[in-house]
Amino acid sequence: MELGLVGLGRMGGNMRERLRRAGHTVVGYDRNPGVSDVGSLKELVERLSAPRAIWVMVPAGDPTRATVQELADLLDDGDLVIDGGNSRFTDDRQHADILAAQGVGYVDCGVSGGIWGLEVGYGLMAGGAKEHVERLMPIFDALRPEGPRDEGFVHAGGVGAGHYAKMVHNGIEYGLMQAYGEGYELLAASGIVDDIHGTLKAWSRGTVVRSWLLDLLVRALEQDPSLAEIEGYVEDSGEGRWTVEEAIRNSVPAPVITAALFARFESRQDDSPAMKAVAALRNQFGGHAVKAAGPTSGAGDTRT
């Protein structure tokens, strides 16, 4: 079928390619003319036959909001917009309402797979009305991995459910990554296991912890056996934060996901104000040495 695709970055560009390989007609638009098929959103809309379907794959927040608003003005009754970006699920209701006012349908779709999706396919979680999701099934089937449809695609619920599912997916992802990270660090610190890379690789089959993330960690250690070239500095995108916020809103204890999020915050701090305060307190009550500058020892008497 015919699809408009807005945003041709790392994700959008690969998705255009995967869809074309599957025989679909994709007209892509990006602000970068070097990758764009058309010169403007307006031109994109004109190039598609009604009823149109346009997939938005731009950064969450203002860029997605602006694109949806612009499309609302350009599209007609019966057209369909899909937000495949990492929008917060609370944005979806607003986007749907803006478009509905013009008779345009809306589907939100969580997309997982990263740079591997072009070859392996993308895990998809869609939210929206049944008729809208059904219309897009040829696209979903082309993007998702081969094999049974329900192992790579779900119609998770109404508008917002797709992004909600993706948000939770990413929250879980934070926890999984941190669990492997902690285990790796302990293996490295203890000095008891000589072959750390080999140990992780031996977990690839048969063990309880086998997973795609484990395979990727083995791969990373093949390339850099002690991760010497990588700093332990980890960004977070929105989904981890939103997952914890949602956990709180729903009174759901989420200690693992939250610990993984906080570990990322810590990884980006040069010095911790909280630990300055703790060091100051120890100095106040126990006369314990505090460190003024470089990493000298400063152990001191620890009796309190």
Element (H, E) at 9: none
79 versus 86: smaller Cβ distance to a second copy: 86
Selecting among 2, 17, 70, 173, the annotated active-site residue is 173
291 is catalytic: no
Alpha-carbon distance 46 to 4, whole Å?
A: 10
DSSP string across 40-105: SHHHHHHHSPSSPEEEE-S-TTHHHHHHHHHHHHH--TT-EEEE-S---HHHHHHHHHHHHTTT-E
- Tell me whether strands 105-112 and 123-128 are parallel, antiparallel or unpaired: antiparallel
Contact between 253 and a second copy per CB under 8 A: yes
Residue of 71, 124, 139, 142 interacting with a second copy (CB under 8 A): 124
Q: Which of 22, 50, 66, 186 binds a second copy (CB under 8 A)?
A: 186
Q: Is 48 in the site for a second copy (CB under 8 A)?
A: no
Q: Which of 130, 90, 126 is nearest to 109 (CA)?
A: 126
Is 166 considered catalytic here?
Answer: yes
From 89, 104, 107, 136, residue interacting with a second copy (rule: CB under 8 A) = 89
By the rule CB under 8 A, 243 interacts with a second copy: yes
**Residue from the set 23, 49, 130, 194 that interacts with a second copy by CB under 8 A:** 194
Of 33, 101, 131, 189, which lies in the binding site for a second copy, with binding defined by CB under 8 A?
Answer: 189
Task: Note whether 134 binds a second copy by CB under 8 A.
Answer: no
Residues 71 and 12: their CA atoms lie apart, in Å, by: 18
Between 45 and 154, whose beta carbon lies closer to a second copy?
A: 154
Of 18-26, 48-56, 99-107, 201-209: span binding a second copy (CB under 8 A): 201-209
114 dihedral zone (left: phi>0; alpha: psi -120 to 50; beta): left
Based on the shown chain and the rule CB under 8 A, indicate whether residue 100 belongs to the binding site for a second copy.
no
Report the distance separating Cα 130 and Cα 287, nearest Å: 68
Q: Which residues are catalytic?
A: 166, 173
